[in-house]
Chains A and B, each alone.
Chain A
Amino acid sequence: MPTLTFIEHNGTEHHVHGDIGQSVMQAATFASVPGIPADCGGACACATCHCYVDEAWVGRLPEAEGSESDMLDYAFERRDTSRLTCQLWITAEMDGLVLRLPESQF
């Protein structure tokens, strides 16, 4: 079971066990990581599950596709490392993935 680390904007770390095939957003909300409202529940319709992928993981995840990338343009402070976590599906290779939360989702 891969372990993911979410780091809140204030530095608080959350280590979360994710199931393979689950989305990163689902793993985070199910573990009650604060700061990921995920209003639309994972339909890629709201851009409130935005996280920054840790630099060490850049290039090791599948690229953001069309609608995710379009949505990210409207996420709070998009960076090159921005992802919508509802569109990131957990694989065994993601064990140890580190994600940082933005200051706000709105």
Chain B
Amino acid sequence: MSLASVVIVGAGQAGFQVAASLRQEGYDGRITLIGDEPGLPYQRPPLSKAYLLGKISEPNLLFRSAEFFMAQRIDLVHDKATAIDRLNRRVLLAGGGVASYDHLVLATGAHNRPLPVPGAHHSGVFGIKTKADADALAPLAKAARNVVVVGAGFIGLEFAAVAAALGANVHVLELGDRPMARAVSREMSELFRTAHEGWGVHFDFLQGLASIEGDNGRACAVVTSDGRRLPADLVVFGIGVIPNAQIATEAGLEIENGVKVDTYLLTSDPQISALGDVACFPCLHNGEQPTRLESVQNAVDQARTLAARLVGKPTPYSALPWFWTDQGDLKLQIAGLSAGYDSSVLLGSPQAQQLSVLCFRGGQLVAVESCNRVGDHMAARKILARPARLSAAEAAAPGFDLKAWEAANRD
């Protein structure tokens, strides 16, 4: 099954990687990579941290140079896909053009959930998704005195750490009762809360945003859901994302928290695949439950699996999910998915800001969260990629060492 033409909609991490991996796999047909942002494809993780601090310059955000796209014959099209014409196997573009495909790959990603409050349109109110967002935000972050961050997830906290380092008063509003509540254990949340407070960040938990007040169109304060007014010359929100599934929905593809795909990343149309932030797949590491993950690892590993299938080497997607976030001098790494864990074992010391939380479900290790314990994280990735055998009782024994256990229990 040799495909003459693969069209990829979305030129983020997943879309770029599909194109690059197709060539690596020896695919010789036409590759069209459609992205609706200007410039060459770039990596997003630094946008909410190192890039804002000037530690990574603009050229170093790029995955590859312009020469790469030419040499690899990847046609980069700067346009917005507006519709899929499944009958005629083509994608319609906002600019009036069309892209015909033998196989279509949807790597459309996700967009920020908007702030549903009065005043969200004022200038000085930012989500962080694109390089354009970060470029507009960077000078304001350097000048801001009072910053309000809405949402204590990864993006919000990464930015809170940046703003605190730049000298602003930082106030974080969070509807939940602790930071990163959806992603990490209570113990890890506590470590990060303490660290952020040490950097001068103030938290308001169980607290929403009621409105944003403006002065001549510029944000100047926020009002919390319990009616307090906080001065804010900059408001940054990170309250989750919504998968960009509109063209897939309109084309009649099956939708379930994003574009529904099977274990081979194929949609309900055999000529269309989806991956990355937009795709909801049966995750082997989550009891084969429909799962949508927003991460670099997921984008990259799914892209490799998909590219291999498109050149005739189909394998079910089975990679272990892993995540990271850098906040100040803390590196949090998560291996596996901890949803529904029922017991945990702690290694290290929260006081020393070096902690691993081993999460067990029904006696099986399902995830390991590590703060500044890189060795534990890498060991956990090895252990979790194999059939689980480490018991909670074993891990709780005095002097237990995850790296040593991994080394002693290799196949």
Contact = CB atoms under 8 A, between A and B. Distances in A.
A47 B64 contact: no
Contacts of A104: none
B122 interface: no
Given A40-B324, A41-B46, A45-B333, A30 B403 contact: no
Given A39-B297, A71-B378, A45 B64 contact: no
Interface stretch (B65-73, B85-93, B159-167): B65-73
Interface in B254-309: 296-297, 300
Contacts of B403: 73
Question: Interface centre among B300, B333, B374, by most A CB within 10 Å?
Answer: B374
A68 B333 CA distance: 14
A30 B374 contact: no
Contact of A30 (B62, B296, B326, B375): B62
Nearest to B382: A74
Interface string B75-102: 0000000000000000000000000000
B69 to A, nearest CB: 10
A39 B60 CA distance: 14
Interface in A1-50: 21-23, 26, 29-32, 34, 37, 39-47
A69 to B, nearest CB: 9
Interface in A50-69: 66-67
A95 interface: no
A82 B331 CA distance: 22
A32 B65 contact: yes
Interface residues of A, number: 25
Interface in B345-381: 372, 374-375, 378-379, 381
Contacts of B64: 29-30, 32
Interface residues of B, number: 31
A47 B67 CA distance: 26
A77 interface: no
A98 B46 CA distance: 28
Contacts of A73: 375, 378, 403
Contacts of B331: 44-45, 67
Interface in A65-98: 66-67, 70-71, 73-74
Contacts of A66: 374
A43 B45 contact: yes
A26 B60 contact: yes
A61 to B, nearest CB: 20
B205 interface: no
Contact of B65 (A30, A34, A41, A46): A30
Contacts of B24: 34
B68 A32 contact: yes
A67 B374 contact: yes
A16 to B, nearest CB: 11
A52 B72 CA distance: 27
B43 interface: yes
Given A22-B60, A29-B63, A43-B326, A70 B45 contact: no
B62 A70 contact: no
Nearest to B71: A32
Contacts of A34: 24
Given A40-B324, A41-B45, 20 more contacts: A29-B64, A30-B59, A30-B65, A32-B68, A37-B300, A39-B296, A39-B297, A40-B45, A40-B296, A41-B63, A41-B296, A42-B56, A43-B46, A43-B326, A45-B333, A46-B297, A47-B378, A67-B331, A74-B375, A74-B382
20 contacts: A22-B60, A30-B59, A30-B64, A32-B72, A34-B24, A37-B300, A40-B296, A40-B324, A41-B45, A41-B63, A41-B296, A42-B60, A43-B45, A43-B46, A45-B324, A45-B331, A45-B333, A67-B372, A70-B375, A74-B378
